[in-house]
Amino acid sequence: QLGQQSLALENASKDKIARLLKVKPSEIYFNSGATEGNNYAIKGVALNYRKRGNTIITSKVEHPSVYECVKQLEKDYGFNCIYLDVNDKGVVDINQLKQVMNDDVILVSIMYVNHEVGSIMPIKEISNLLKKFPKAIFHSDITQALGKTMVDVSLLDIATMSAHKIHGIKGSGFIYKKDKVSFYPLISGHNAYNALRAGTSNWPSNVVMSKALEKSLIKMKENYLNIIKSQSELIEKLSKIEGIEINTNPNSCIPGIVNFSV
């Protein structure tokens, strides 16, 4: 009976996350966080769809759990991998993406928000561009964006995140994956309940994560103006100090990050 209660709590948590993100519960999969999620999304798609094509596109400023995945696929599996540049604001060059897109591309992986300088990537523009290339699957690591800025996962085929970035418990997270997308299984074994990969579910952390997401989205609306004010004041004062260079552009980044060099 206690096990059934635990399962009911976890199912309710999955329903809550799906409701908050405006997706279907069947498209939410719990895991250990964005590093696992990114490995699953990138390697899982690449190995599952390699008969469709051999090209993967990402950017030069991705989190290591994305960048190193792509590098491994390039080195060990012979995939043709393209790494997009960013402009002086830290934003991916959409024109370069237009130039390199073709029917051989099976995966485009671009983070929603950069974790170093806070730049917001042109996710909507990329999503619209990829509609012309139906074989290409669009993945984004939304870890730095969720709870910090508006995130529209309907623009994506796959999204990955870590719970601790929204004050959940470390070692938990989830993948959003459209039902139409399939992964090559990276972890084999007994298929736990709707778990995407084999393994026992960490249900207490998953329940906490759903509540943390709910609270973070409420707090985002409450605190957004205060955080912008703090960011502006910090940038203004730092700019007056000799020897400091501001790398964050407040016009194209989330308000919670200020990156500067000394």
Residue 78 has pLDDT above 70, yes or no: yes
Measured CA to CA, the distance from residue 62 to residue 243 in angstroms comes to 28
Phi, psi at residue 48, to the nearest 5°? Answer: -80, -30
pLDDT confidence of residue 192: 63
pLDDT confidence of residue 190: 74
Q: Grade residue 24 by pLDDT with cuts at 50, 70 and 90.
A: very high
Please compute the mean of the pLDDT values over residues 146-170 and round it to a whole number. 96
Contact, 86 vs 136, CB < 8 A?
A: no
pTM for this prediction: 0.94
Q: Which residues pair with 108 in a beta bridge?
A: 57, 138
Per-residue pLDDT tens over the stretch 160-181: 999 999 999 999 999 999 999 9
pLDDT confidence of residue 221: 83
For helices 2-21 and 203-239, give the axis angle rounded to 10 degrees: 40
Identify which of 170, 172, 230 has the alpha carbon closest to the alpha carbon of residue 201.
Answer: 172
What is the rounded average pLDDT for all residues in the chain?
A: 94
Please compute the mean of the pLDDT values over residues 217-233 and round it to a whole number. 91
Q: Residue 4 class from Cβ within 10 Å (0-12 exposed, 13-18 middle, 19+ buried)?
A: exposed
Contact, 160 vs 154, CB < 8 A?
A: no
Please compute the mean of the pLDDT values over residues 79-83 and round it to a whole number. 98
Sequence-separated contacts (24+) of 47-50 with Cβ below 8 Å: 47/77, 47/184, 48/182, 48/183, 48/184, 49/106, 49/107, 49/135, 49/137, 50/77, 50/79, 50/106
Please compute the mean of the pLDDT values over residues 67-71 and round it to a whole number. 97
H/E/C letters for each residue in 37-58?
A: HHHHHHHHHHHHCCCCCCEEEE
Phi, psi at residue 196, to the nearest 5°? Answer: 65, -50
Q: Grade residue 194 by pLDDT with cuts at 50, 70 and 90.
A: low
Percentage of the chain exceeding pLDDT 90: 89
CB atoms within 10 A of CB 245: 10
Per-residue pLDDT tens over the stretch 96-111: 999 999 999 999 999 9
pLDDT confidence of residue 262: 95
